[in-house]
Chain A
């Protein structure tokens, strides 16, 4: 079974401080991992995916298969980064593709 764990429900940092949102996964195959973000009063949207190895809004995430982790990092947090962040694992159920979401971490960036 596939599972995603985000150990922190809330992460509070000051503006300019580094941020790391933790994500660990359990999956027997080759994982596809994503970070989704939900800003206040907006719909859930993709932030980044591991296969692209991209930096979006200053955020990066590296897949570590040895530690089964996909932590999201940003060196200098901004107030506009305050949002709910979900780590997600792509996989398959009987119907085909599916995403398994972690419990989410609320990031609060204080001025």
Chain B
């Protein structure tokens, strides 16, 4: 299993600013994932972060808006830049266990409100 610590748990930010979310895992994992969960919506994958390479972004998400760092096998950050009210959402960090029937583990999420 994997225990994920994600912070902050919530924040209220002004338009035009940025928020950086941290994700710490208690074991080394190859792949880390960042999801967005908008109010009343499902989880949408933003990007996959592999250590030692640039993150892979899903359609509709770009690096300028959601820069990601992955400095080692236990840590990653997601920055949400140039915030607007539409960015208000829950952001989740996730890792997958290294087996084909991969079980995903999730952080507790970061609730972002942009005012």
Q: Which residues of A contact B (CB under 8 A)?
A: 32, 34, 36, 43-46, 49, 51-52, 86, 88, 90, 93-104
* Least Cβ–Cβ distance between B8 and chain A, in angstroms: 15
Knowing A43-B107, A46-B103, A51-B101 touch, does A97 contact B42 (C-beta < 8 A)? no
A93–B101 touching, CB < 8 Å: no
* Least Cβ–Cβ distance between B99 and chain A, in angstroms: 10
A97–B31 touching, CB < 8 Å: yes
CA distance A50 to B39 in the complex (A): 28
Chain A neighbourhood of B100, CB < 8 A: 32
Would you call the interface of chain A mostly helix, strand, loop, or mixed?
A: strand
Number of A-B contacts (CB under 8 A): 59
The 28 listed contacts between A and B (C-beta, < 8 Å) are A32-B100, A32-B102, A34-B103, A36-B104, A43-B106, A43-B107, A43-B109, A44-B92, A45-B105, A46-B103, A51-B101, A88-B104, A90-B102, A93-B56, A94-B56, A96-B31, A96-B48, A96-B50, A97-B102, A98-B33, A98-B45, A99-B33, A99-B94, A100-B45, A101-B42, A102-B42, A103-B41, A104-B42
Give the contacting residue for B103; candidates A49, A98, A104; CB below 8 A: A49
Q: Which residues of B contact A (CB under 8 A)?
A: 30-31, 33, 41-45, 48, 50, 55-56, 58, 92, 94, 96, 100-109
User: Ordered nearest first, which 9 A-B pairs have the shortest CB separation?
Assistant: A95-B48, A95-B56, A103-B42, A44-B106, A101-B43, A43-B108, A51-B101, A101-B42, A46-B103
